[in-house]
Structure 1
Amino acid sequence: MRAFVFPGQGSQKVGMGKELAATSPAAREVFEEVNEALLQNLSGMMAEGPEEELTLTQNAQPAIMAHSIAVLRVLEREFGVKLAEQATCVAGHSLGEYSALCAVGAFDLAITARLLKLRGRSMQAAVPVGEGAMAALLGADVESAKALAAAAAQGQVCEIANDNDPTQVVISGHREAVERAVGMVKDHGIKRGMLLPVSAPFHCSLMQPAADRMADALAHTPPAAMALPVYANVTAARVEDAQEERALLVEQVTGRVRWRESVLAMRADGVESFVELGGKVVGPMVGRTTPEAQVTSLVTLQDLEAFAKENA
């Protein structure tokens, strides 16, 4: 059994998709459709920068999705490897959950791009710049991270945002609280705390205004039936009903990304192989969570060609 998985924010970089667009009509079609949906030349920004524009949340989120779906379309149309035939389920890290839902037909490409543009803008607007922060805790498990966050909060918000793998947990909240947590890591047996270069404190209760906006947008965006089940970030459980998944996307804005648990749930359900589309971010997390699983990352044409040959 195989899962196709999709990366989240932080996997963007200038030049993403450039090679695919230059050589593949299927990839160009994806990028052109996203440009048209958003009324901006996002693919040009992805290919040439500037980096500070691409890194903005409202651009990075649809860009990462577009790249993942372009990789998938090339795999399907030009190499004949179909998602529905090769995978038994999908999952995505944070915004990658939207990429996964697009891949299985819950939302079409244009709708997914517009939802992610709104999600990025809403998350950025939820907290004034400079008032929030996130930090990666290296060598931390959930329990030690939870204790650290509670000790550092001191009346402010400091919460677990991402449970990525057995060696990395991310916290999010008010900047002062997160900075206190970074300074207290040794007291909680955590190897290192590192502030992340993000513009907002994602996946914590400070994101409630963004969750409200996404609830309204998703209420007016009924999803279609999904071709494959998705493992949801906030429950780390298999979801087959598109309406249930739509509600979970709202919870996801303020909720914890339970990626480690999602990987373990997929493994428990028989998944032995994980294929990351459009990045090399969540694949390594999978490898650290379940070293016995087979992990493949597909980014370049050479990656796609090799995968297609192996799965002909």
Structure 2
Amino acid sequence: MAIAFTFPGQGSQAVGMGKDLAESYPEARRVFEEVDEALGEKLSKLIWEGPEETLMLTANAQPALMAVSLAAMRALESRGFSLKDKVGYVAGHSLGEYSALAAAGFVSIADAARLLRIRGNAMQSAVPVGEGAMAAIIGLEQADVETACAEAAQGAVCQVANDNGGGQLVISGARAAVERAAALCSEKGAKRALMLQVSAPFHSALMQPAADAMREALAGVAKNPPVVPVVSNVSVTPTSDPETIAARLVEQVTGRVRWRETVEWFGAEGVTTLYEIGAGKVLSGLARRINRDIAVANVGAPADVDAALASLG
């Protein structure tokens, strides 16, 4: 099939996201109610009213973004849309992989919310505040960035965490090593080497305690074959085997988010349109820079639901 659905990751959150979907579709509102019940708190109130600094916390942002993506999915489905019949693949950026899997029925919405709360807390607590860092490197070849990381490590962790495409790579690891690597990238000709305001060194080997926590958490939830294959962040291959999917989710905590390769893979497989399901338009922007032959569309508001249904048929 020529269509894939993608699901955004952390950084796409905004106060008020998904509220219009909940007001327009009872099915969407029920998603937020399910998440609230699963977490034992009114996350929906935080999503819609803020404060922003609390929503931005990793343990809140991750289940919140999943809730908005699944609310958009339920809005589509309430109008007769079938993921299995209309879409060839799903994929998500980092936490968005959980949203993609929930949309495809691998886990329930409630379990996805609890898993992402565990994931957020575990990632935050894996490294003491201030000891880790991440930096965005713009306009430098991947091989040069990897060389800079290796030179800067000096026995510490420093690695490429995200290959987002469009000339954007993110490095992650011990703060001093990342700072050294960013400086080396500038020397090697990077257009920009920007330290990021993040709370932990995500997608690096320093996240191993969080990977261990997710292995245990995933072992304890009911897992089903997804109705469409999920393209894994860490392997850039599609699978429908529940245990393989779970293993890749564990690897993802410390592994690289290979988003550029994912979009390139979609193009090679004949995907002609990517729909970004949920908050923001970050993935759509990245896709345009990676492969201009693939059309992009967004489903994050009631008007988007109408437009998507008209084009999906």
TM-score interval, normalised by the smaller of the two chains = over 0.9
How far is 1:294 from its partner?
Answer: 0.7
Secondary structure in 2 matching 1:129: coil
Q: Measure, in 1, the Cα distance between the counterparts of 2:292 and 2:13.
A: 26
Q: Is the 1:164–1:260 Cα contact (8 Å) retained in structure 2?
A: yes
| Residue 75 of structure 2 is aligned to residue 65 of structure 1 | no
| 2:37 partner letter | E
| 1:14 partner letter | V
Q: For residues 39-70 of structure 1, give each alpha carbon's deviation from its aligned partner in whole angstroms, at most 9, with x where no partner exists.
A: 01111000010111101100000000000000
Secondary structure in 2 matching 1:101: helix
Q: Measure, in 1, the Cα distance between the counterparts of 2:10 and 2:186.
A: 28
Q: Is the 2:83–2:228 Cα contact (8 Å) retained in structure 1?
A: no
Q: Measure, in 2, the Cα distance between the counterparts of 1:163 and 1:141.
A: 11
Name 2:12's counterpart in structure 1. 11
Q: For residues 1-59 of structure 1, give each alpha carbon's deviation from its aligned partner in whole angstroms, at most 9, with x where no partner exists.
A: 10000000111111111211222211110000000000011110000101111011000
Q: Is the 1:140–1:166 Cα contact (8 Å) retained in structure 2?
A: no
Q: Measure, in 2, the Cα distance between the counterparts of 1:26 and 1:221.
A: 24
Q: For residues 189-215 of structure 1, give each alpha carbon's deviation from its aligned partner in whole angstroms, at most 9, with x where no partner exists.
A: 211111112111100000000001111
Name 1:158's counterpart in structure 2. 158
Q: CA RMSD in A?
A: 1.1
Name 1:181's counterpart in structure 2. 181
Q: Measure, in 1, the Cα distance between the counterparts of 2:222 and 2:260.
A: 29
Q: Measure, in 2, the Cα distance between the counterparts of 1:239 and 1:4.
A: 15
Q: Measure, in 1, the Cα distance between the counterparts of 2:181 and 2:158.
A: 8
Name 2:23's counterpart in structure 1. 22
| 1:261 partner letter | E
Matches within 5 A, 1:264-279: 264-278=264-278, 279=280
Q: Is the 1:144–1:189 Cα contact (8 Å) retained in structure 2?
A: no
Q: For residues 116-168 of structure 1, give each alpha carbon's deviation from its aligned partner in whole angstroms, at most 9, with x where no partner exists.
A: 00000000000011111111111133212111211222222111000110310
| 2:92 partner letter | G
| Residue 108 of structure 2 is aligned to residue 108 of structure 1 | yes
Greater alpha carbon shift after TM alignment, 264-273 vs 200-209: 264-273
Secondary structure in 2 matching 1:296: strand
Give the TM-score normalised by the residue count of structure 2.
Answer: 0.97
| 1:291 partner letter | R
Q: For residues 221-266 of structure 1, give each alpha carbon's deviation from its aligned partner in whole angstroms, at most 9, with x where no partner exists.
A: 2411110001000001111212111111110000001111111112
Q: Measure, in 1, the Cα distance between the counterparts of 2:121 and 2:302.
A: 32
CA 1:29/1:222 → structure 2, altered by over 3 Å: closer, same or farther? closer
Name 1:144's counterpart in structure 2. 144
Percent sequence identity over aligned pairs? 52
Name 2:38's counterpart in structure 1. 37
Q: Measure, in 2, the Cα distance between the counterparts of 1:215 and 1:257.
A: 18
| 1:157 partner letter | V
Secondary structure in 2 matching 1:155: coil
Matches within 5 A, 1:49-128: 49-77=50-78, 79-128=79-128
Q: Is the 1:105–1:226 Cα contact (8 Å) retained in structure 2?
A: yes
| 1:174 partner letter | A
| 1:300 partner letter | A
Q: Is the 1:286–1:295 Cα contact (8 Å) retained in structure 2?
A: yes
Q: Is the 1:272–1:293 Cα contact (8 Å) retained in structure 2?
A: yes
Secondary structure in 2 matching 1:292: coil
Count of paired positions: 311
Q: Measure, in 2, the Cα distance between the counterparts of 1:251 and 1:68.
A: 23
Q: Measure, in 1, the Cα distance between the counterparts of 2:96 and 2:229.
A: 15
Q: Measure, in 2, the Cα distance between the counterparts of 1:274 and 1:49.
A: 30
How far is 1:181 from its partner?
Answer: 2.1
Q: Measure, in 2, the Cα distance between the counterparts of 1:186 and 1:311.
A: 44
Secondary structure in 1 matching 2:257: coil
Q: Measure, in 2, the Cα distance between the counterparts of 1:111 and 1:104.
A: 13
Q: Measure, in 2, the Cα distance between the counterparts of 1:107 and 1:140.
A: 38
Q: Measure, in 2, the Cα distance between the counterparts of 1:241 and 1:272.
A: 25
